[in-house]
Structure 1
Amino acid sequence: MPGPDEGVYGISVAARMTSMDAQNLRVYERRGLVSPDRTPGGTRLYSDADIAILHRIRDLLADGLNLAGIAKVLELEAELSRLRRRTK
């Protein structure tokens, strides 16, 4: 069984799972918001962790944030998570 960080979903499946357009997923990758795995042939494979990030992006967009703001929020949330793990 794949782990949460192992890419298993193609872009069309990931788009359906997140109610997003596949083209938007490509934009989010170019902007560094998500980093799906790649097959040797270059096909994107999204993990469960990537899907969670895409859901977060969708929610932040709905709240009115732009992509630069979303990048900062994701960065700060990741830092907070790292700090919490370090203090336990």
Structure 2
Amino acid sequence: MTEDPTTASGLYGISAAARLSGVGEQALRLYERKGLLTPVRTAGGTRRYTDDDVTVLRRVAALLADGLNLTGARRVLELEADNDRLRLRIAELTD
């Protein structure tokens, strides 16, 4: 669910991503295990989070605050991504 890190304006370690998103470091690791995001890894295996990842983390936090569980939040993210792809495809076909 992350874009090419070379196109992102920032790469953050886990503590910075946690601070920027308002989500704890352990939660970030859990979200990765549950498939909610896939941070870039360095050659040494260190997680690096993009600005897009931070946006996803904030969205997940909002969904959880609204009462969804992690499975529901992941499904919402998938559906939102599907809708974005469909909108782009419709725009391509109508141009």
TM range (shorter): over 0.9
Aligned length: 86
> Are 1:8 and 2:27 an aligned pair?
no
Which protein shows a greater Rg? 2
SS at match of 2:45: coil
1:7 Cα deviation from its structure 2 partner: 6.4
Instruction: Identify which of 71, 74, 78 aligns with 2:81.
Output: 78
Structure 1 residue aligned with 2:3: none
> Are 1:35 and 2:47 an aligned pair?
no
TM-score with structure 2 setting the length: 0.86
The gaps in structure 1 that reach 5 residues or longer are none
Instruction: Identify which of 54, 59, 64 aligns with 2:57.
Output: 54
> RMSD over aligned Cα, in angstroms?
1.3
TM-score with structure 1 setting the length: 0.93
- Structure 1 segments, 4+ long, off by >4 Å, are none
Structure 2 residue aligned with 1:25: 28
